[in-house]
Amino acid sequence: MNHMMQLNTLAMAGSGGKTGLFVLVGGVILLFVAFAVIMFLASRYRRCPSNRVLVIWGRTGDRATRCYHGGGQFVWPIIQDYAYMSLEPMVIEIPLTGALSLNNIRVDVPSTFTVGIATDQVQMNSAAERLLGLPPQAIREQAQDIILGQLRLVIATLTIEEINKDREKFMNLVNENVTQEINKLGLELINVNIRDITDESGYIVAIGQRAAAEAINVAKVEVAQQERDGSVGEAQAVRERNVRVAQEKALSAQGQKEAEQQKRIAIAGYEAEAVKGEVMSTRDLEIATAERDAETIAASKRAEQEQRIQVASAEALAVDGENTSNAEIAESNAKLAEIRAEAKRRSDVARAQAQEAIMIAEREQELAALSKTELAPQEIEKQRIEIAAEAEAEKLRREAKGEADAILAKYLAEAEGLQKVLEAKAEGYRKLMAACAENPQVAPTLLLIEKLPELGAEQVKAVQNLKIEKVTVWDSGRGSQIEGKGSARGATADFLSGLIGTLPPVHELAKQAGIELPGALGKVVEEGQATPVAPPSTE
Give the Cβ contact number of residue 178 at 10 Å. Answer: 25
User: Worst-scoring range by mean pLDDT, 34-38, 369-373, 514-518?
Assistant: 514-518
Mean pLDDT of 454-459: 71
Residues 6+ apart with CB under 8 A from 267: none
pLDDT of 214 reads 78
More confident: 105 or 301: 105
Helix (H) or strand (E) holding 381, with range, is helix 376-435
- Does the structure show a pLDDT above 70 at 361? yes
Write out pLDDT tens, residues 477-491: 555 444 444 455 566
Out of 11-15, 493-497, 521-525, give the one with best mean pLDDT: 521-525
Residues 6+ apart with CB under 8 A from 428: none
More confident: 11 or 26: 26
Task: Give the span between the Cα atoms of 388 and 23, in whole angstroms.
Answer: 91
Mean pLDDT of 3-17: 54
Torsion, Cα 33 34 36 39, to 10 degrees, reads 180
User: Worst-scoring range by mean pLDDT, 74-78, 93-97, 263-267, 441-445?
Assistant: 441-445
Q: How far is CA 224 from the centre of its chain?
A: 30
Label residue 462 by pLDDT band (50, 70, 90): low
Return the SS3 of 322: helix
Angle between helices 167-182 and 136-156 (to 10 degrees): 140
- Does the structure show a pLDDT above 60 at 129? yes
Task: Give the span between the Cα atoms of 416 and 408, in whole angstroms.
Answer: 12
The answer to whether 113 and 152 have CB atoms below 8 angstroms apart is no
pLDDT of 113 reads 94
pLDDT of 59 reads 78
Closest of 206, 193, 185 to residue 134, by C-alpha: 185
Label residue 216 by pLDDT band (50, 70, 90): confident
Mean pLDDT of 185-207: 84
State pTM to two decimals.
Answer: 0.37
Label residue 144 by pLDDT band (50, 70, 90): very high
Percent of the chain with pLDDT over 70: 78
User: Worst-scoring range by mean pLDDT, 15-19, 42-46, 191-195, 421-425?
Assistant: 15-19
- Does the structure show a pLDDT above 50 at 538? no
Q: What is the architecture, at CATH level 2, of domain 88-201?
A: 2-Layer Sandwich (3.30)
Mean pLDDT of 2-8: 53
Mean pLDDT of 460-466: 67
pLDDT of 154 reads 92
The answer to whether 213 and 143 have CB atoms below 8 angstroms apart is no
**Any bridge partners for residue 96, and if so which?**
109
Label residue 207 by pLDDT band (50, 70, 90): confident
- Does the structure show a pLDDT above 90 at 314? no
Mean pLDDT of 236-264: 80
> How much is the mean pLDDT over the chain?
77
pLDDT of 448 reads 67
Task: Give the span between the Cα atoms of 70 and 52, in whole angstroms.
Answer: 8
Residues 6+ apart with CB under 8 A from 59: 76, 79, 80
pLDDT of 191 reads 92
Task: Give the span between the Cα atoms of 67 and 73, in whole angstroms.
Answer: 10
Strand ranges for 177-260 from DSSP E: 187-194, 198-199
Residues 6+ apart with CB under 8 A from 136: 86, 90
Domain ranges of the chain: 40-87, 88-201, 491-521
- Does the structure show a pLDDT above 80 at 416? yes
pLDDT of 472 reads 54
User: Worst-scoring range by mean pLDDT, 153-167, 292-306, 520-534?
Assistant: 520-534
Return the SS3 of 106: strand
Label residue 539 by pLDDT band (50, 70, 90): very low
Return the SS3 of 74: strand
Burial letters 476-508, b for 16+ CB under 10 A, else e: eeeeeeeeeeeeebeeebeeeeeeeeeeeeebe
Write out pLDDT tens, residues 166-190: 888 888 999 999 999 999 889 999 9
Mean pLDDT of 327-349: 81
Return the SS3 of 158: coil
Write out pLDDT tens, residues 341-359: 887 888 788 888 888 888 8
Mean pLDDT of 418-425: 83
Mean pLDDT of 253-269: 78
More confident: 321 or 135: 135
Out of 34-43, 67-76, 467-476, give the one with best mean pLDDT: 67-76
More confident: 191 or 279: 191
Task: Give the span between the Cα atoms of 386 and 392, in whole angstroms.
Answer: 10
The answer to whether 213 and 193 have CB atoms below 8 angstroms apart is no
Closest of 500, 480, 502 to residue 491, by C-alpha: 480
User: Worst-scoring range by mean pLDDT, 243-247, 436-440, 452-456, 493-497?
Assistant: 493-497
